[in-house]
Structure formats: C-alpha cells, structure tokens
Amino acid sequence: MTQEEFNIPDFAELQRLLTASCDKAEVHRVLQSDRIGISGLAALLSPAAENLLSQLAARSARITAKRFGRTIQIYAPLYLSNFCTNRCAYCGFSADNKIDRRVLTMDEAEQEAMILHGRGFKHILLVSGEAPARLGVDYLAELAMRLRNRFAAIAIEVQPLEEDDYARLFAAGITSVAVYQETYDRRIYAQVHHAGKKCDFDYRLATPARAAAAGMREVGIGALLGLADWRLEGLALGMHLAWLRKHYWRTALTVSFPRLRPAEGDFQPLVKVNERMLSQLIFALRIFDPDAGLLLSTREEARFRDGMVGLGPTRYSAGSCTAPGGYAHPELTGEQFSIGDHRSMQEVCADICQKGYDPVRKDWDATFQIKDGGGAMSAASL
Ligand code: SF4
C-alpha cells in the first residue's frame, strides 16, 4: 500500500516559487552545482535562463553522457483500441469524436506485435483508450503472456489501474507503466476533462505510485504540453519525480514531454510551447534528475529529434502508427493524433548512428522477471 500520497501545490504557489528563483546569477550558480533541488529547477525553468540555453544544453549533454553513454533506446507504440469512455477535449479518441472505433482481437494484436518484432523492435508500448469493459486487465495479461518471450520489455499506457492489477500484469510480463497527468494545473485539468473517470485528478495523480508499489520495474510520468504554463508543468514534474524517487527508489523513472498535435476534434492548444521552450524544459529536468529516462516521441519532427540527440533525451519512438491495426493495415483511420516524424525505425537508427550514438533496441531481459515457480520478482530483489 502507498504510505503517503503525492500532492501538488496549486499553480499560483508554483508561480511564486518560479518568480523568486528568476535571477540570472542564480541560474549561473545552479549550473555549477552538483545537486540543484526544486529552487534550482525553478531557476533553470525561469525566463532568466532563456538566454543561457546553450549553457543549459552543454550541462545537460555532459550529465546525459556520464549517466547513459552515447545511447538512445528505441521503442514502438502498439495501439490496441481507440474506444474511450472519457471526454478529453484535446484527444482524437475522445468519446465526443466520431471516428472508426475498434479493439484488436488477441490474434490481431499479436499480429501487429509480430510486425514490429520483424522490424527489429524489442521494446514495445501497448496503448489504448480508457474503456475497461472493452480492454481490461484480462486482455492485457493474456497479450503479455503471448508476447513476453519475444520482447525484451513490454510497457503499457492504458487506463489507471489498482495496485493488485499492476502486480498481476507484472507477473504476466509487463515491465513498465506510463501514466501522464496531462496537466498538473487543477483548474485547467477540470476545464479540458469534460466527462469520465479521468475527471478524478487525484486518482490519476496517485497512479504512478500504485504502479511502483506493485513492483513495476519502471514508471513513466509526463505532461501534455500546450494546456498550461510549461514552466510550471516542469516544476510539477520535477516535484513528482523527486517524490517518487524518495518513496520508490527501486523503480526506474521516465519523463515524457508530449506536445499537443493536430487530432480529430480541432482542439487548439491553450498555450504556446515552441521547440526552444521544449528544449529548456528537457535540459532543466535532465540537470535536475540525472537518472531519469527522458522520452522524445514521434510527435516531434525528425529535424528537432535529430538535433536533440545527445543533449538530454534517452529514448525515442520510431516508425509509429497511432491507429489500432495500423501496422498491418496502414490505410486504417481512427488515429489518436497525427505524428511529426514519419521515418522508419531503420532511418531513425541510421540518423542516430550518423551522429555517433548507438540506437539500443534491448536493455532488459524478461528472464530477470522470472523466479522458480513462474511468479514474478522485482529486479531489485534479484
Ligand atoms: S486522452 Fe486518453 S482518456 Fe482522454 S480521450 Fe484520449 S484516450 Fe481517452
């Protein structure tokens, strides 16, 4: 059980913290420090750091090289279902939208996975809308059992679950859980989540802790950029990360920075987040937490992703399709959003190699997860 719950200060309080740290001399001081803390993170996210972006990039690159070497881990999403009972204003899968809906049969899901396997992927992320009656824990457990011997790591990005469910899925072969808060600003959260279980801000906020408490090897958090002030989202992400590190130090943590992409429903971003802002956010979080895996997905364009190799991110998706069944049938519609980087996995890997980095397709083995009798054990207990 989770002993204590994570709470996020309201954004007015975070703004006061940011304003108090907005000082160029403080940014210079933080860039020389080994451990920077929340006020240091606030300085790096503040407007005072905007004109020092190259110094932030250099520091972030040094830390990333020291902790991760010259590597970028590669993965692909596998969309299982676009049914969703929630009404999120910004998402193509929202129950409000009239799109072609489908949930893959177990055989279809396995076929999609084997296409990715054939393309060389060893790490996959199973994704679905939030409709537990159509795609629940039984489905995920059965699929994981079918795939666990073919993939080195299987992650999920599905509806928030209970701790017991996560423990069952870990035993079935799922190693990681990604659950993004979307926005840590309660006011904006209420504004863009119109109906469905996702309206419960606190239940979602406590989900990463439930997954970690269940023994998941890795937990991912994130904010959808374009909903609320990106500097304050960055501060909230840093606080969440620090809290999870303190309470679940055995669990590896990742952070994702999805920027809003065009999707069915014509939702327009509420705030602007350009590539320069996204870069500042990534560098600041890398300097704040040297060990966090930082994801940069195909939402971003190839030019930007290539430019960020070595500067902070450690994990790239590649060759992605966001419509269920879209790898076997590229003509299918019903995607969650349109992607920005259309290169194949081979092209992404070739461009990473050209920059002198190794695209890594496997950094974990399922045998670490098996103990005598077929049950699961955490990596930390090996
Ligand atoms: S963001 Fe997630 S929960 Fe919201 S509509 Fe899209 S798939 Fe459903």
Q: Please report the DSSP string for 48-70 in residue order.
A: GGGGGHHHHHHHHHHHHHHHH-S
Asked if residue 377 has pLDDT above 90, the reply is: no
Centroid of ligand 1 to alpha carbon of 274 (angstroms): 23
Residue that wins the pLDDT comparison between 48 and 263: 48
Beta bridge partners of 195: 87
Is the distance from CB of 178 to CB of 202 less than 8 angstroms?
no
Is the distance from CB of 296 to CB of 311 less than 8 angstroms?
no
Is the distance from CB of 71 to CB of 314 less than 8 angstroms?
yes
Q: What mean pLDDT is predicted for residues 28-52?
A: 96
Asked if residue 82 has pLDDT above 70, the reply is: yes
Is the C-beta atom of 91 inside 6 A of ligand 1? yes
Within its chain, how far is the Cα of 25 from the centroid? 33
CB atoms within 10 A of CB 373: 5
Centroid of ligand 1 to alpha carbon of 229 (angstroms): 21
pTM, two decimals, is 0.93
Nearest to 206 by CA among 155, 248, 250: 248
Asked if residue 334 has pLDDT above 80, the reply is: no
Res. 373 pLDDT band, cuts 50 70 90:
very low
Is the C-beta atom of 130 inside 6 A of ligand 1? yes
- Return d(Cα 320, Cα 342) in angstroms, integer: 8
Residue that wins the pLDDT comparison between 299 and 365: 299
Ligand 1 atom nearest to 196, measured from its CA: 3
Q: What is the largest CA-CA distance in the chain?
A: 59
Centroid of ligand 1 to alpha carbon of 87 (angstroms): 7
What's the pLDDT score for residue 33? Answer: 94
Asked if residue 43 has pLDDT above 50, the reply is: yes
- Any idea which residue has 């519609």 for tokens? 333
Is the C-beta atom of 93 inside 6 A of ligand 1? yes
Asked if residue 276 has pLDDT above 60, the reply is: yes
Asked if residue 45 has pLDDT above 60, the reply is: yes
With helix as H, strand as E and coil as C, how does 70-99 read? CEEEEEEEEEEECCCCCEECCCCCCCCCCC
Res. 363 pLDDT band, cuts 50 70 90:
confident
Pick the CATH number of 69-369 from 3.20.20.70, 3.30.70.100, 3.40.50.720, 3.30.420.10: 3.20.20.70
Please tell me the least confidently modeled range out of 80-84, 91-95, 236-240, 376-380. 376-380
- Return d(Cα 280, Cα 292) in angstroms, integer: 16
Q: What mean pLDDT is predicted for residues 74-78?
A: 95
Centroid of ligand 1 to alpha carbon of 159 (angstroms): 9
Is the C-beta atom of 84 inside 6 A of ligand 1? yes
**Long-range contacts of the stretch 92-97 (C-beta < 8 A, 24+):** 92/263, 92/264, 92/265, 92/335, 92/336, 92/337, 93/129, 93/336, 94/264, 94/265, 95/195, 95/196, 96/194, 96/265, 97/264, 97/265
- Return d(Cα 348, Cα 340) in angstroms, integer: 13
Is the C-beta atom of 14 inside 6 A of ligand 1? no
Tell me, what DSSP letter sits at residue 266?
-
Q: Phi/psi of residue 128, each to 5°?
A: -150, 160
Centroid of ligand 1 to alpha carbon of 84 (angstroms): 6
Beta bridge partners of 78: 126
Asked if residue 263 has pLDDT above 90, the reply is: no
Is the distance from CB of 66 to CB of 290 less than 8 angstroms?
yes
Is the distance from CB of 366 to CB of 355 less than 8 angstroms?
no
- The DSSP element (H or E) to which 315 belongs, if any, is strand 315-317
For the stretch 229-246, pLDDT in tens is 999 999 999 999 999 999
Q: What mean pLDDT is predicted for residues 364-374?
A: 59
For the stretch 115-164, pLDDT in tens is 999 999 999 999 999 999 999 999 999 999 999 999 999 999 999 999 99
Is the distance from CB of 211 to CB of 219 less than 8 angstroms?
yes
Is the C-beta atom of 8 inside 6 A of ligand 1? no
Distances in Å between the Cα of 291 and the Cα atoms of 17, 38, 242, 251, 286 are 24, 16, 11, 11, 8
Percentage of the chain beyond pLDDT 90 is 86
Instruction: Give the chain's mean pLDDT.
Output: 93
Is the C-beta atom of 90 inside 6 A of ligand 1? no
Q: What mean pLDDT is predicted for residues 39-46?
A: 98
Centroid of ligand 1 to alpha carbon of 156 (angstroms): 14
Centroid of ligand 1 to alpha carbon of 363 (angstroms): 30
Q: What mean pLDDT is predicted for residues 247-253?
A: 96
- Return d(Cα 249, Cα 244) in angstroms, integer: 7
Is the C-beta atom of 335 inside 6 A of ligand 1? no
What's the pLDDT score for residue 378? Answer: 40
Res. 380 pLDDT band, cuts 50 70 90:
very low
What's the pLDDT score for residue 47? Answer: 98
From 81, 83, 86, mutation site for ligand 1 pocket: most ligand atoms within 8 A of C-beta: 86
What's the pLDDT score for residue 336? Answer: 75
- Which amino acid would we find at residue 62? R
Among protein residues, the one with the nearest Cα to ligand 1's atom 2 is 129
Asked if residue 227 has pLDDT above 90, the reply is: yes
Q: What mean pLDDT is predicted for residues 52-71?
A: 97
What's the pLDDT score for residue 376? Answer: 43
Q: Rg of the Cα trace of the chain?
A: 20
Centroid of ligand 1 to alpha carbon of 90 (angstroms): 8
CA atoms 246, 210, 127, 139: torsion sign: positive
Is the C-beta atom of 86 inside 6 A of ligand 1? yes
Is the distance from CB of 248 to CB of 233 less than 8 angstroms?
no
Centroid of ligand 1 to alpha carbon of 158 (angstroms): 9
- The DSSP element (H or E) to which 218 belongs, if any, is strand 218-222
